[in-house]
């Protein structure tokens, strides 16, 4: 409850911080995008991780103003990077279920795109498989978002226990293979799962990205099956904007 009260004031106190984790194309070694990940720099407790406050934010509805702040702040940062010469860089932003159902979500996204003049296709919104349950309504919202031109990515793919039929009916652009499969790629069954997800994604014309990549062996496996996008600690942890920019200036990441 104390944390909840503090969370109410966190935005006013300017305590929300965004870190950015790079996403790399393993064929070219280029950083193609960054995922914005929110942290709370509490005035007394220090850095609080999302696993601790996102659930509270969702329960209380505070995820709505926080989510809007994340979207605005991350897009402004992307704009700066574009102005600094990294014109091809893309941005991924996580959406929670409540945000997806927020009445003015589409308006908010449209407004941010207009204000920052980011090309819509350079903004990607991450939903999770668990959001694909409420079918009709979610499809309508995603279609409105797609009309703006933004990309939709399915985060934590493979863990949602949902029917795969939504892959046809939902306007999605990318599957993000859950890190639990990547972490355990040394197990034969996970090799089967990951290679099958990749080939299914390819057959459906979807982009693929693997998250939680920590070893060269994982990279080699993903290269063999042509999963071009990778994200994980092997490349970099999520970083503050200035540190991320230093990585951008290196141009290429070699594996």
Cβ pair 150, 121 in contact under 8 A: yes
For 9, 70, 118, 241, the CA distances from 21, given in Å and listed in that order, are 26, 14, 19, 10
Tell which one of 71, 155, 210, 229 touches Mn ion (CB under 5 A): 155
Nearest distance, CB of residue 150 and Na ion, angstroms: 15
Nearest distance, CB of residue 54 and Mn ion, angstroms: 13
Question: Quick one: 161 or 254, whose CB is closer to Mn ion?
Answer: 161
The helix/strand/coil state of 33 is strand
Cβ pair 34, 94 in contact under 8 A: no
Cβ pair 233, 220 in contact under 8 A: no
CB atoms within 10 A of CB 224: 10
Tell which one of 26, 92, 156, 213 touches Mn ion (CB under 5 A): 156
Tell which one of 233, 240, 250, 252 touches ligand G (CB under 6 A): 233
Q: Is 35 in the site for Mn ion (CB under 5 A)?
A: no
| Alpha helices for 117-187 (secondary structure H) | 135-148, 166-169, 179-183
For 72, 86, 208, 212, 215, the CA distances from 117, given in Å and listed in that order, are 12, 15, 26, 31, 37
Binding-site size, ligand G (CB under 6 A): 23
- State which residue has the least CB distance to Na ion: 155
Nearest distance, CB of residue 156 and Mn ion, angstroms: 4
What is the distance between the terminal CA atoms of the chain, rounded to a whole angstrom? 46
Tell which one of 6, 124, 129, 211 touches ligand G (CB under 6 A): 211
Q: Which residues between 116 and 175 bind ligand G (CB under 6 A)?
A: 155-156
Nearest distance, CB of residue 188 and Na ion, angstroms: 27
Report the partner that residue 201 touches, choosing among ligand G, Mn ion, Na ion, none (CB closer than 5 to 8 A by kind). Answer: none
Q: Is 129 in the site for Mn ion (CB under 5 A)?
A: no
**What string marks each residue from 112 to 131 as x (binds Na ion by CB under 5 A) or -?**
--------------x-----
Question: Quick one: 113 or 127, whose CB is closer to Mn ion?
Answer: 127
Q: Which of 170, 175, 168 is nearest to 135 (CA)?
A: 170
DSSP 157: E
Nearest distance, CB of residue 61 and ligand G, angstroms: 13
Nearest distance, CB of residue 94 and Mn ion, angstroms: 8
For 59, 102, 183, 187, 253, the CA distances from 217, given in Å and listed in that order, are 40, 41, 11, 12, 16
Q: Is 61 in the site for ligand G (CB under 6 A)?
A: no
Report the partner that residue 152 touches, choosing among ligand G, Na ion, Mn ion, none (CB closer than 5 to 8 A by kind). Answer: none
Cβ pair 112, 55 in contact under 8 A: no
Q: Is 179 in the site for ligand G (CB under 6 A)?
A: yes
Binding site for Mn ion (CB under 5 A): 155-156
Binding site for Na ion (CB under 5 A): 94, 126, 155
């Amino acid at each position: 409850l104390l944390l909840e009260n503090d969370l109410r004031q966190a935005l006013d106190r300017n305590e929300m911080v965004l870190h950015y984790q790079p996403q790399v194309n393993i064929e070219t070694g280029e950083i193609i995008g960054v995922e914005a990940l929110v942290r709370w720099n509490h005035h007394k407790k220090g850095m609080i991780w999302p696993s601790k406050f996102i659930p509270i934010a969702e329960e209380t509805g505070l995820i709505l103003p926080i989510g809007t702040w994340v979207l605005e702040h991350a897009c402004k940062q992307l704009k700066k990077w574009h102005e600094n010469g990294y014109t091809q860089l893309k941005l991924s932003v996580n959406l929670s279920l409540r945000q997806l159902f927020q009445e003015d979500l589409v308006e908010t996204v449209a407004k941010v795109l207009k204000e920052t003049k980011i090309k819509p296709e350079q903004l990607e919104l991450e939903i999770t498989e668990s959001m694909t349950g409420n079918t009709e309504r979610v499809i309508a919202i995603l279609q409105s978002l797609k009309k703006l031109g933004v990309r939709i990515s399915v985060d934590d793919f493979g863990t949602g226990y949902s029917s795969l039929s939504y892959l046809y009916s939902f306007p999605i652009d990318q599957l993000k293979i859950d890190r639990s499969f990547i972490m355990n790629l040394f197990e034969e069954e996970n090799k089967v799962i990951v290679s099958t997800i990749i080939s299914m994604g390819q057959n459906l014309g979807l982009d693929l990205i693997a998250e939680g990549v920590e070893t060269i062996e994982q990279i080699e496996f993903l290269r063999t099956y042509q999963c071009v996008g990778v994200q994980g600690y092997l490349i970099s942890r999520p970083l503050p904007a200035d540190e991320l920019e230093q990585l951008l200036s290196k141009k290429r990441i070699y594996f």
